[in-house]
Structure 1
Amino acid sequence: MKDKIEKGDIVLINKIGKYHNQVGEVSGVDYNIFFVKIVIVKLGNQEENFEEKDLQLQTKKPSLEEVIVSIDKILEQVEQITNLPAKEKVELPNRLKYLKLDIPKLDKQVIQKNFDVIDKIFTVTREADSSANCWQEVDSNLEKISWWIRTSL
């Protein structure tokens, strides 16, 4: 069942009360003594428990396949960045390719370290050439990868 609520998903609270119509991210799933699925939802700086029936799925967290596609899309965009320094022109595609290979292995430390370096390179590159029209595509795909890393490992 594809619409099953899982950790990392974005949900809308449809239970009448204090949190009605608020949107949050699922930080965990548990079951009570009656085997009713309890979903822990992060709302700002706090977490609240809800029964699954009180929630409506808004956005599924990215799948492994979607993350791999996002990396490929970023690789395509990297070729369009004209002001990329020579060192980064080699390092960035290599790091992205390594990230693509590391993600299926689910090694959190390796993936997080590699992603942090990629993000840092993009931050510096964006400052040097903020006019490139590829940044919207790069940013949305980086966000998808970051979301998957945060919620899957």
Structure 2
Amino acid sequence: MKEKIEKGDIVLINKSGEYQNKLGEVIEIDYNIFFVKIVIVKLSNQEEAFEEKDLQLQTKKPTIEEVIASVEKIIELVEYIYHLPTKEKVELPNRLKYLKLDIPKLDKQLIIKNFESIDKILVSTREADSSATFWQEIDSNFEKISWWIRTSL
């Protein structure tokens, strides 16, 4: 069975024309007067409407379970960040644990507050040591969390 296209998914445009074979993110789902599913897709700097039949699902947005697993993975990797100042050495794991607890509650304000604090700490820490190999894994997990927040709240 073909998976349903939902807000936040990444899709490939199959319709011939200007946007053929371009990737975009689904930002809205609507229906026309004939109950045909219309999918609004963000393509780089513009938005276009397509019928669902003109799209091919590429990547599903992360589930809550995947996002929580990403937070857990970052918590594990934080211990390898040696250049964390003392205050951040305590604050970063705590913020990550709070974020993990807030996600299932879908509390937008708390999630965004903790996410932004974590982001600031990671950005400043990366400046001190960006050569470490674990940053790639932190970044991919952090991007998954960011994607879920952007498309789910």
Q: Which of the five TM-score ranges fits, normalised by the shorter chain?
A: over 0.9
**AA of the residue aligned to 2:3:** D
Scaled by the length of structure 1, the TM-score of the pair is: 0.96
Cα distance between partner residues in 2 of 1:119 and 1:29: 30
Cα distance between partner residues in 2 of 1:152 and 1:50: 21
**AA of the residue aligned to 1:90:** V
Following TM superposition, where does structure 1 have runs of at least 4 consecutive aligned residues deviating by more than 3 angstroms? none
**AA of the residue aligned to 1:140:** S
Q: For structure 1, which runs of at least 5 residues remain unmatched after alignment?
A: none
Identify the residue that residue 61 of structure 2 maps to in structure 1: 61
Q: For structure 2, which runs of at least 5 residues remain unmatched after alignment?
A: none
Cα shift readout 1:82-107 (whole Å, capped 9, x = no counterpart): 22111111000000000000111111
Aligned length: 153
Aligned-residue offset at 1:34? 1.1
Identify the residue that residue 18 of structure 1 maps to in structure 2: 18
SS at match of 2:101: helix
Cα shift readout 1:61-100 (whole Å, capped 9, x = no counterpart): 1110000000000000001112211111100000000000
Cα distance between partner residues in 2 of 1:96 and 1:147: 16
Cα distance between partner residues in 1 of 2:86 and 2:72: 21
Scaled by the length of structure 2, the TM-score of the pair is: 0.96
SS at match of 2:27: strand
Aligned-residue offset at 1:2? 7.1
Q: How does 1:1-153 map to 2 (within 5 A)?
A: 3-153=3-153
Cα distance between partner residues in 2 of 1:57 and 1:16: 16
Cα shift readout 1:5-55 (whole Å, capped 9, x = no counterpart): 000000000001121111100000011111111100011221111110000
Identity of aligned residues (%): 78
Q: Which is worse superposed, 67-76 or 44-53?
A: 44-53
Q: Which is worse superposed, 88-97 or 100-109?
A: 100-109
The RMSD of aligned alpha carbons is 1.1
Cα distance between partner residues in 2 of 1:2 and 1:29: 17
